[in-house]
């Protein structure tokens, strides 16, 4: 909770999905930090606490290294469990947690909302020598942690197919594996590649070079901006998956200057967002296997 280090420069507002959507400074990291510095608590800023999508843009760009994502999670845990339902998280108790490591972690979004992608995912990881048996049915608890109802957990696993689940696992990310084996894919241009913002914004030194190499090799358009950070539709957040964000407007902003007729991504939530709202051919990376 190092909100006291915030100097109010406002850099965090530039790529904040909540600010882009509402134009309301108190919903940004700067707004929350200023409120905390003034002595306000979690219950004084519930709307702001739930406006955050945890995209990580603010953490990556902050010159004072304020841990804004951790601050939001801390505030949500102060509010939980009662306010998780009031904030609109389904109005029900979180699903039972069945966190366990395995050779392949698909994640709830893939299993329940995009099961058509699973065969190509299994084929890809098997081609790299990984067993492709999915984990037991159930939720790893990443959204429960986002709702402030549980702390984060780190469990060893093989390959994780959804960046949201990487909040809970120490594992290889399928999208990063794909970037290291680009010759296995048909990536004819022009196309727009949607980079998973949680990864690039959370650890830019590790993940930015992978996706920047893709951009330089194929000349594709991406959601990476000049700050080496990835802009978000917020679809992969707890609020976005529950339909409580204006995902269409975010998709329109990202594609405003794009002329590509194909969209490719390694994020299941972004795949669903662009497939629903872009009007363009949308593919998950493993659907492009040769």
Residues of the chain with pLDDT under 70: 81-100, 134-138
Within a domain: 86: no
Residues 263, 244: Cα–Cα separation, whole Å:
23
> Do 281 and 194 share a structural domain?
yes
pTM of structure: 0.90
Within a domain: 99: no
Residue 99 in contact with residue 141, Cβ under 8 Å? Answer: yes
Residues of the domain holding 133: 104-176
Residue 240 in contact with residue 269, Cβ under 8 Å? Answer: yes
pLDDT of residue 154: 84
Within a domain: 92: no
Within a domain: 252: yes
Q: How many structural domains does the chain have?
A: 3
66-105 residue pLDDT tens: 999 999 999 999 997 655 444 444 433 445 455 667 889 9
> Around 192, how many Cα atoms within 13 Å sit in the side-chain half-sphere?
22
* DSSP code for 95: P
Within a domain: 17: yes
**Mean pLDDT taken over the chain:** 90
Residues 124, 118: Cα–Cα separation, whole Å:
10
Residue 207 in contact with residue 200, Cβ under 8 Å? Answer: yes
> Do 263 and 190 share a structural domain?
yes
> Do 109 and 21 share a structural domain?
no
> Do 224 and 164 share a structural domain?
no
């Amino acid at each position: 909770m190092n909100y006291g280090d915030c100097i109010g420069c406002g850099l965090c507002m530039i790529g904040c999905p909540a600010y882009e959507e509402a134009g309301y400074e108190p919903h940004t990291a700067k707004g929350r930090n200023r409120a905390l510095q003034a002595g306000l608590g979690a219950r004084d800023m519930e709307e702001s606490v739930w406006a955050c999508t945890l995209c990580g843009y603010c953490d990556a760009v902050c010159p004072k290294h304020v841990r804004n994502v951790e601050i939001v999670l801390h505030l949500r845990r102060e509010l939980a469990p009662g306010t998780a339902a009031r904030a609109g998280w389904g109005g029900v108790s979180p699903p039972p947690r069945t966190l366990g490591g395995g050779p392949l972690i698909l994640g709830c979004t893939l299993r329940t909302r995009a099961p058509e992608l699973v065969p190509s995912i299994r084929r890809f990881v098997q081609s790299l020598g990984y067993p492709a048996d999915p984990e037991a049915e159930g939720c790893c608890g990443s959204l429960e942690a986002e709702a402030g109802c549980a702390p984060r957990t780190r469990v060893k696993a093989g390959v994780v197919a959804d960046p949201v689940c990487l909040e809970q696992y120490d594992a290889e990310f399928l999208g990063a594996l794909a970037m290291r084996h680009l010759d296995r894919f048909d990536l004819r241009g022009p196309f727009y590649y949607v980079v998973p913002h949680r990864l690039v914004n959370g650890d830019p030194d590790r993940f930015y070079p992978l996706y920047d190499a893709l951009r330089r090799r194929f000349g594709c358009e991406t959601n990476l901006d000049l700050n080496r950070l990835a802009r978000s539709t917020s679809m992969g957040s707890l609020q976005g998956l529950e339909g409580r964000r204006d995902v269409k407007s975010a998709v329109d902003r990202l594609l405003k200057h794009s002329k590509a007729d194909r969209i490719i991504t390694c994020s299941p939530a972004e795949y669903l967002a662009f497939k629903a709202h872009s009007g363009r051919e949308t593919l998950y990376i493993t659907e492009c296997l040769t």
